[in-house]
Structure 1
Amino acid sequence: MKISEASEALQRIGLSRYEALVFVNLARAGAATAGDVARASGVNRVQTYRALEGLEARGLVEVTLDRPRRYAARALQDVFDMIADEKKAELEKLDAVRKMLLEEWPKISGRRREPPSVRLQVIKGRAQIYRTLRQFVASSREEVLAFTTTKGLQRSYRAGINEVLVEAMRHGVKPRLLADVDATNQVLMARVAKVVPLRHVDRQRARFIIVDRESILAFLIQDERTIRGEGETALWTNSPDFVKAHRDFFEKAWAAAVPARRRLAALRPH
């Protein structure tokens, strides 16, 4: 692994750019002065001292009593344990603030207002979309209708949406799923069909989910150009007209679709 890659990895767990560079070079050098670290890392002395002070304050480096002072990086496992403790403390603080605000908010906000009858939310980024979708399916009480694709199913599995749906089914929720079942995805679709009523539609790329005939989450922009799908965009709404139009479309497609068992049988080599 390159120094730059190790530095970027440390930034992802909470170190600043200069802290990460200084820590990696300090770990390579062993005990070293601030000047030694500055020369090795290519960071100017002012930024090096600030980075070392920040790392020392978090307990991620040790300091000797020598003159000039010498610094040593803590063992990497210790660093991860300390950062994990920091994150845990942050989450506990966040939860305490959440509970306090939820309890006091009615007093601050005054008279409770009824939410507007028709609401709409635009959701951007694949990660946020699938988090919302997971919550959306978990909120179902009666029915989940899904028009999806192979990649949509694969990402739903990774996001744990299938587990949420199975749990909802244990409480009486009835799902139905429409997708294009072909030779490239038949293994996945056979697995899905064992759990959820599934039918095949030819070359359809629509993607939407309707819950309890009340609200819909529809994919507007599908971003396959990037790994994380930052450009992916979805729309959630409880607009009765919008929901009804998509439900009617689903029901017509369902009536004309081929049951998964028959489609999978046709795909098997004879």
Structure 2
Amino acid sequence: MTTTDSLEDAIEVLQQLGLKEYEARCFVGLSRLHTGTAKRLSEMTEVPRTRVYDAIRVLEAQGLVEIQHSSPQQFRAVPLDEATETLRDQYEARVDRLHNALDTVEIVDEDDETPVQQVWAMSGRDAIENRTNQLIEKASEEIVLVLGDESLLTEELVARLNDVGDEVTLLIGALTEPLQAQIQTAVPNATTFISGLEWLHGEDVTEDETAIGRLLLVDRSTILVSSIVPGSKTEQAVFGEGFGNGLVVISRRLMAQGLLTARDPKQ
């Protein structure tokens, strides 16, 4: 990534965190200077000089910029670690505020006759990983997880799996022996196995074919299956709960292929 690309990426992220474009450009510009005047900053960032002052006032109020009241005024960005921590605190505060606001909203037209079986689609690795972690956390009896890609064995997932209580049976399948060994080392309390689902990642699979990412069955009633889209490597999933015994039994048998019957506590 070139310097120009890095700068534009930083500006985009700052806007996503709530700064306006001129504010983001001024902060990024100051991060490249020890100190700078409005004129110097305007020349560097292409922000109109009159708008630089407005942007600086906002950045100062947010604790991201310091001002020296000299003639002309000098500006400087706070240290990067301090700035990122300040932005993180502000972002988390907004998220908490959103949660608290929506948590008190009254549900309208709640349907008491919701179908027993439901299937929903979702996209994005972060969202799918969050749903996976929540399902694992809520498990009370059994977790069967098959991973189709080693990149999905994240630190957060490993931590969540290691927090599973002894009262919950934890079965984790892998597609290869190296991945199984990696899982066993990372999650020593789990029963690991080599999945027999060759269609997950067989030798004939090409880069143009969609690959299965993760399969999760919790307490024989909640299922999550994800796929990894070729090219973009984005993850998509379907999630369902409240299934009848037939579908759950079939899903579990498919997911647990390769697990020896003698080691299967639910046989």
TM over 0.5: yes
The AA in structure 1 aligned to 2:236 is T
The AA in structure 2 aligned to 1:156 is L
The structural deviation recorded for 1:137 is 1.5
The AA in structure 1 aligned to 2:174 is A
Identity of aligned residues (%): 18
Is the 8 Å Cα contact of residues 144 and 175 (structure 1) preserved in structure 2? yes
Q: Distance in 2 between matches of 1:211 and 1:133?
A: 10
Question: What is aligned with 2:27?
Answer: 23
Q: Distance in 2 between matches of 1:252 and 1:62?
A: 60
Within the candidate set 158, 164, 167, 1:168 is matched to 164
The structural deviation recorded for 1:139 is 1.5
Deviations, residues 162-182 of structure 1 (Å, cap 9, x unaligned): 433343342x12233333334
Within the candidate set 192, 198, 218, 2:192 is matched to 198
SS of 2:172's equivalent? strand
Question: What is aligned with 1:266?
Answer: none
Is the 8 Å Cα contact of residues 180 and 204 (structure 1) preserved in structure 2? no
Count of equivalent residues: 242
**Highest CA radius of gyration, 1 or 2?**
1
Within the candidate set 90, 108, 112, 2:94 is matched to 90
Within the candidate set 231, 251, 267, 1:225 is matched to 231
Q: Distance in 2 between matches of 1:19 and 1:174?
A: 52
SS of 1:233's equivalent? strand
Is the 8 Å Cα contact of residues 210 and 247 (structure 1) preserved in structure 2? no
Question: More helix by proportion, 1 or 2?
Answer: 1
Question: What is aligned with 1:54?
Answer: 58
Question: What is aligned with 2:155?
Answer: 158
The structural deviation recorded for 1:186 is 5.2
Question: What is aligned with 2:3?
Answer: 2
Is the 8 Å Cα contact of residues 144 and 255 (structure 2) preserved in structure 1? no
Is the 8 Å Cα contact of residues 136 and 143 (structure 2) preserved in structure 1? yes
Within the candidate set 179, 187, 211, 1:185 is matched to 179
SS of 1:237's equivalent? strand
The structural deviation recorded for 1:134 is 0.8
Over the aligned positions, Cα root-mean-square deviation in angstroms equals 3.5
> Which aligned segments of 4 or more residues in structure 1 are displaced greater than 6 angstroms?
none
Deviations, residues 188-230 of structure 1 (Å, cap 9, x unaligned): 25536843223332624154221112121112x313534xx43
Q: Distance in 1 between matches of 2:180 and 2:53?
A: 59
Structure 1 spans left out of the alignment, 5+ residues: 260-270
Q: Distance in 1 between matches of 2:35 and 2:161?
A: 54
CA gap of 1:89–1:52, structure 2 versus 1, over 3 A, is same
SS of 2:224's equivalent? strand
